[in-house]
């Protein structure tokens, strides 16, 4: 299994690779998008004032060169939930520029955009189905076989058994499958979250709220840990299940972190690399879980993905 990590700045690229990242993904929002589409989000990070998206074409070209020299693929996220129909040609033009710079993998969450791009036969790229695409099930996987799908990223809510069923439904025509393994276990189903990730407002998952049921209510406080010192996986962790993910057919492990502090991401990538390598030498699942938990002397975060 390969480790793919969210990149917020090209300054962190080499550190991520040295820590063990086999691949990175990032956002790219050129000036042409802002001029033509205004404040409509091009990906799920509507941020301008911090290191979350690449914005300059020269910067993107420089990253492509570094990726080529180190043989580390870079995927670009165009994963907003939906776009106005008149912006689809502009997105296709931006992707065309990226392909000319050497990028071949693009993360898509909008089915209508995927259909539109599929009609552009001149676009020779591999499409990655975003974890915010929606519910992934065997029927949808069979439908996606008519597109040039390189990979499916399973939503955070997908169980390992469901992943296995979907992988079987691809009949080997989709070569890669990715699962979340560390950070940001979204409080909501990603495809249905209508919150923003921008400079002005807190994400919905960081605002205190109250859950209610027939049994009573529960107050959910805002997560306030310092991300530089917080326990790895404090906001979401699937490390104990890496063995089971491998058996199900997962090929890539996702470390979320666009916009995180670089030092914290390096630490997280190293932890995932160590746990991935351990699952290959430790045969028994109970022994493997004991080993993973031994990596956290302060205790498990108890915020398990699977």
**Per-residue pLDDT tens digits for 256-285:** 988 788 999 999 999 999 999 999 899 888
Q: How confident is the model at residue 230 (pLDDT cuts 50, 70, 90)?
A: low
The arithmetic mean of pLDDT across residues 72-86, rounded, is: 95
Q: How confident is the model at residue 50 (pLDDT cuts 50, 70, 90)?
A: low
Secondary structure E strands in the chain: 2-6, 23-28, 53-54, 74-78, 105-108, 126-129, 149-153, 176-182, 209-213, 216-220, 252-255
Q: CA-to-CA distance for 108 and 128, rounded, in angstroms?
A: 6
Q: How confident is the model at residue 242 (pLDDT cuts 50, 70, 90)?
A: very high
Q: How confident is the model at residue 219 (pLDDT cuts 50, 70, 90)?
A: low
Q: How confident is the model at residue 229 (pLDDT cuts 50, 70, 90)?
A: very low
* Yes or no: domain 2-195+205-294 corresponds to CATH 3.40.50.11540: no
Q: How confident is the model at residue 220 (pLDDT cuts 50, 70, 90)?
A: low
Mean of per-residue pLDDT scores for the chain: 88
Residue 75, CB half-sphere, CA atoms under 13 Å: how many?
30
Q: CA-to-CA distance for 53 and 215, rounded, in angstroms?
A: 43
Residue 210, CB half-sphere, CA atoms under 13 Å: how many?
4
The arithmetic mean of pLDDT across residues 224-240, rounded, is: 70
Q: How confident is the model at residue 85, as a pLDDT?
A: 93
Is residue 222 pLDDT above 70, yes or no? no
Is residue 225 pLDDT above 60, yes or no? no
Domain boundaries, the chain: 2-195+205-294
- Placement of tokens 């599929």 in the chain: 118
């Amino acid at each position: 299994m390969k480790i793919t990590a969210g990149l917020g700045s090209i300054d962190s690229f080499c550190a991520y690779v040295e820590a063990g990242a086999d691949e990175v993904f990032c956002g790219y929002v050129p000036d042409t998008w802002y001029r033509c589409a205004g404040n409509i989000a091009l990906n799920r990070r509507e941020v301008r004032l911090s290191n979350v998206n690449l914005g300059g074409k020269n910067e993107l070209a420089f990253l492509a060169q570094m990726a080529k020299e180190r043989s580390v693929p870079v995927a670009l996220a165009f994963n907003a939930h939906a776009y106005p129909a008149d912006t689809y040609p502009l997105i296709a033009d931006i992707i065309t520029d990226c392909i000319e710079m050497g990028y071949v993998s693009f993360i898509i969450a909008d089915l209508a955009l995927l259909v539109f791009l599929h009609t552009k036969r001149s676009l020779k790229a591999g499409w990655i189905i975003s974890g915010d695409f929606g519910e992934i099930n065997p029927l949808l996987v069979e439908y996606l076989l008519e597109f040039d799908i390189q990979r499916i990223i399973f939503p955070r809510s997908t169980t390992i058994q469901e992943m296995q069923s979907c992988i079987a439904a691809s009949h080997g025509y989709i070569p890669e499958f990715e699962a979340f393994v560390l950070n940001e276990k979204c409080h909501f189903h990603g495809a249905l979250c209508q919150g923003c990730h921008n400079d002005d407002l807190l994400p919905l998952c960081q605002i205190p709220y109250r859950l209610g049921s027939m049994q009573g209510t529960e107050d959910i406080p805002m997560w306030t840990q310092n991300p530089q010192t917080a326990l790895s996986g404090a906001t979401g962790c699937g490390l104990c299940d890496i063995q089971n993910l491998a058996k199900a057919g997962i090929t890539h492990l996702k470390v979320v972190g666009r916009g995180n502090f670089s030092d914290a991401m390096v630490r997280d990538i190293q932890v995932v690399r160590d746990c991935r390598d351990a699952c290959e030498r430790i045969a028994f699942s109970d022994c493997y879980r004991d080993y993973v938990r031994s990596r956290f002397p302060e205790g498990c975060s108890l915020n398990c993905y699977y």
